[in-house]
Amino acid sequence: MKTLDTYDVSLNGRPVATAAPSLRTLLEQQGYDLAAAMACAINKQFVPRPLWQERALQPGDRIDVITPITGG
């Protein structure tokens, strides 16, 4: 539910209303295990893991979280 303090982003193609100031905070709020193997991109731009905390989010950002799968 969107409030005055939130803005809209897309997370793996799903619309999300968030107040998260950073990529790391958004991932935590969405229940991702930050110790797990995964890669993130914002607007098709790779974001290295050490920068997740400082990478600010903007309304309309498209965030893609990619996790490896075995056997493929």
6-64 tens-digit pLDDT? 999 999 999 999 999 999 999 999 999 999 999 999 999 999 999 999 999 999 999 99
Residue showing tokens 């998260």: 20
Q: How far separated are the first and last CA of the chain, in Å rounded?
A: 37
**Whole-number Cα distances in Å, 36 to 13, 15, 42, 61:** 21, 23, 19, 23
pLDDT at site 71? 77
Pick among 3.40.50.620, 3.40.640.10, 3.40.50.300, 3.10.20.30: CATH of 7-66: 3.10.20.30
| CA atoms of 39 and 68, how far apart (whole Å) | 9
User: Is-above-0.85 flag for pTM?
Assistant: yes
